[in-house]
């Protein structure tokens, strides 16, 4: 059983929107042992859609389509599917009733244009949408079972979980198994480059190895992908676990999690376990660090809050930074981040205080402190420390990496690990 994933939309084909659905769908299929031949993105263009649907349905057993089910005139997937099948559209009275209820529940009458969302190609059926107005579609075409979901990611995901995955599992059962299981896992690290990671992983990355190991860098994270294939699912799982262990041993404390794990989530768990708490004092990141911590449900147990002291006046009035330090050393300096971290720790009554002050660019760089220079302050019960990093990229990248550096610094501090293992602090 093989799949093709199609994403439909002018905004995708023209590059005005990034397609995140295909990646999510491919990962779900891989989890079911169904390999994806390819992803294809096409515009809201009726003839092109009809042709793409027919070709995909000739090559794959499962075609997952997202997008083009909305109520507006640029939503053509429904019509394209009917044309590809050579049938008419019919109205599903139950879907229409659900649509009417959806609007009633929100206190609006249903706009007329939403009525098209109750249509489905004759011979197929609609799939209920628990999250929005557009039902999905299920039809047979060529050799394939075709499932169509709305393009809105949370509606698509809910529909896959509740309706499409159970059908795929049934299809796998009907085919009597025999396909090897493909299990994947991604191991996430922060603070190491891709080449250094590859050096450490060595022969684990040989292309003919099973499980196969690959690396990817994204937004500062170096992620190690493991793909295990075996006729016996239990053996595939054991192989996956073994290789995961070997990878994690090579990268040590730089690894913070797997798959959907977040750096901040692991930090919050470790702070909770250690009975610690942290207060933040941010300048160039402007609240990104606090935002990442609060992203974790339950973070209130370890995070009372923090300060965005973007102006020097607020650094002084709110965190007690001595103006003489700023005059002498500048706002991006060891003494100032130390005073910020100590001030935040004390005022919030936290066990740890962390601070960030840097030159995020595009302006403001000097020979001494070029764009990308970021100072981090850390206040602990043992004392107050500071570390300098030279980050690369544009303003958004420098600020993002700075916030993540601070999360990894805090994590290493709670773990009692040497910060010099983090690439940017290697010479600090």
Residues 15-54 touching its own copies, rule: CB under 8 A, are 15-20, 22-30, 36, 38-42, 44, 52
Which residues inside 241-300 make contact with its own copies, applying CB under 8 A?
A: 280, 282, 284-291, 293-295, 297, 299-300
**According to the binding rule CB under 8 A, does residue 130 interact with its own copies?**
no
CA distance 57 to 384: 63
Which one of residues 87, 89, 172, 205 is an interface residue with its own copies (CB under 8 A)? Answer: 205
Which one of residues 120, 147, 190, 303 is an interface residue with its own copies (CB under 8 A)? Answer: 303
- By beta-carbon proximity to its own copies, the closer residue of 29 and 337 is 29
Which one of residues 122, 130, 231, 313 is an interface residue with its own copies (CB under 8 A)? Answer: 313
CA distance 49 to 62: 17
Cβ-contact 210, 229 below 8 angstroms: yes
CA distance 379 to 402: 17
**According to the binding rule CB under 8 A, does residue 102 interact with its own copies?**
no
**According to the binding rule CB under 8 A, does residue 9 interact with its own copies?**
yes
- By beta-carbon proximity to its own copies, the closer residue of 125 and 423 is 423
- By beta-carbon proximity to its own copies, the closer residue of 71 and 257 is 71
Cβ-contact 360, 371 below 8 angstroms: yes
Which one of residues 86, 122, 166, 195 is an interface residue with its own copies (CB under 8 A)? Answer: 195
CA distance 145 to 243: 35
**According to the binding rule CB under 8 A, does residue 111 interact with its own copies?**
yes
Find the shortest distance in angstroms from Cβ 401 to its own copies. 12
**According to the binding rule CB under 8 A, does residue 12 interact with its own copies?**
yes
Find the shortest distance in angstroms from Cβ 150 to its own copies. 10
Ramachandran class of 228: left when φ > 0, alpha when ψ lies in -120 to 50, beta otherwise:
beta
Which residues inside 329-388 make contact with its own copies, applying CB under 8 A?
A: 347-349, 361-363
Measured CA angle at 428 (ends 382, 390), to 5 deg: 120
Which one of residues 147, 307, 376, 385 is an interface residue with its own copies (CB under 8 A)? Answer: 307
In Å, what is the CA distance from 20 to each residue of 27, 28, 141, 272, 366?
A: 11, 13, 25, 33, 39
**According to the binding rule CB under 8 A, does residue 89 interact with its own copies?**
no
Place of tokens 């609609």: 126
Closest CA to 131 of 159, 164, 167, 165: 159
Per-residue string for binding with its own copies, 148-177, x by CB under 8 A?
----x-x-----------------------
Q: What is the DSSP string of 64-96?
A: EEES--SSSTT--HHHHHHHHHT--EEE-HHHH
**According to the binding rule CB under 8 A, does residue 140 interact with its own copies?**
no
Ramachandran class of 333: left when φ > 0, alpha when ψ lies in -120 to 50, beta otherwise:
beta
**According to the binding rule CB under 8 A, does residue 61 interact with its own copies?**
no
């Amino acid at each position: 059983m093989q799949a093709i994933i199609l994403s439909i939309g002018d905004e995708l084909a023209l590059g005005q929107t990034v397609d995140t659905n295909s990646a999510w769908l491919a990962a779900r299929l891989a989890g079911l042992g169904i390999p994806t031949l390819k992803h294809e993105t096409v515009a809201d263009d009726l003839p092109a859609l009809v042709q793409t649907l027919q070709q995909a349905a000739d090559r794959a057993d499962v075609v997952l389509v997202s997008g083009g089910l909305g109520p507006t005139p640029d939503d053509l997937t429904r019509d394209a599917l009917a044309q590809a099948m050579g049938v008419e559209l019919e109205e599903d009275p139950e879907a229409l009733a659900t649509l009417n209820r959806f609007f009633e529940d929100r206190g609006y009458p249903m706009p007329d244009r939403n009525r098209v969302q109750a249509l489905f190609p004759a011979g197929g059926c609609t799939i209920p949408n628990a999250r929005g107005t557009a039902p999905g579609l299920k039809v047979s075409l060529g050799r394939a079972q075709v499932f169509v979901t709305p393009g809105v990611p949370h509606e698509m995901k809910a529909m896959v979980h509740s309706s499409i995955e159970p059908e795929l599992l049934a299809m796998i059962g009907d085919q009597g198994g025999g396909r090897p299981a493909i299990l994947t896992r991604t191991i996430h690290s922060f603070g190491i480059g891709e080449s250094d990671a590859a050096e450490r992983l060595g022969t684990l990355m040989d292309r003919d190895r099973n499980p196969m190991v690959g690396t990817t860098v994204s937004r500062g994270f170096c992620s190690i992908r493991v793909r295990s294939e075996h006729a016996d699912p239990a053996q595939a799982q054991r192989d996956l676990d073994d290789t995961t262990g070997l990878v994690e041993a090579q990268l040590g404390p730089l690894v913070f999690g797997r798959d959907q794990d977040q750096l901040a989530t692991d930090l919050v768990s470790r702070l909770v376990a250690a009975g610690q708490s942290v207060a933040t004092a941010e300048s160039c990141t402007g609240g990104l660090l606090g935002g990442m911590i609060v992203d974790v449900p339950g973070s209130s147990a370890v995070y009372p809050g923090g300060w965005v002291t973007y102006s020097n006046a607020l650094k002084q009035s709110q965190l007690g930074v001595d103006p003489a330090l700023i005059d002498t050393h500048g706002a991006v300096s060891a003494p100032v981040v130390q005073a910020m971290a100590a001030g935040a720790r004390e005022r919030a009554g936290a066990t740890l205080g962390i601070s960030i002050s840097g030159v995020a660019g595009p302006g403001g760089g000097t020979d001494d402190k070029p764009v990308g220079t970021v100072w981090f302050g850390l206040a602990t019960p043992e004392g107050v420390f500071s570390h300098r990093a030279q980050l690369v990229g544009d303003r958004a990248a420098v600020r993002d990496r700075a916030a993540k550096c601070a999360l990894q610094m805090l994590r290493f501090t709670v773990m009692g690990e040497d910060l010099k293992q983090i690439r940017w602090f290697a010479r600090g």
